[in-house]
Amino acid sequence: MVDKEIINPGTPVAGPYSPGVKVGNMIFVSGQGPKPGSDDIKDQTRTTFENIKTILDAAGAKMSDIVKVTVYLNDMGDFKKMNRAYQKFFKENGVEDGYPARTTVEVANLPVAIMKLEIDVIAMV
């Protein structure tokens, strides 16, 4: 039997799921979105990663422990701006080389109308 730890640091949850689950040395962070108040893709990317960082911190991990990122964009036209904010956030958190593997896909709808993106990650500690 594998030990499973639910990681719930109080980040917003909009359904029947856990913000994060730690199994062994792996941390699975559920899809996170931005905090309300901005419709700018750069701000939304930053606040989404702040949510992710909060969950990782609660699990004893850091941004440099992320090995896989999936970004769901509702408009691929936002890719360049999202990518710049993504890169900046990782650099500010000690990751300049060796970025995690990443997939970015365009989706038709996200759970909340104001969301321009949703991001989930897998980290290893």
pLDDT digits (tens, 9 = 90+) for 17-29: 999 999 999 999 9
What sign for the dihedral angle of Cα 90, 41, 113, 77? negative
Q: Rounded CA gap, 70 and 90, in Å?
A: 15
Question: Can you give the pLDDT at residue 11?
Answer: 80
Q: State the Cα–Cα distance between residues 109 and 57, nearest whole angstrom.
A: 29
Tell the CATH superfamily of the 4-124 domain. RutC-like (3.30.1330.40)
Q: Indicate if the pLDDT at residue 1 is higher than 80.
A: no
Task: State the pTM of this model.
Answer: 0.94
Residue 115: which of 78, 89, 88, 83 has the closest Cα? 78
pLDDT tens-digit series, residues 58-83: 999 999 999 999 999 999 999 999 99
CA distance 13 to 38: 19
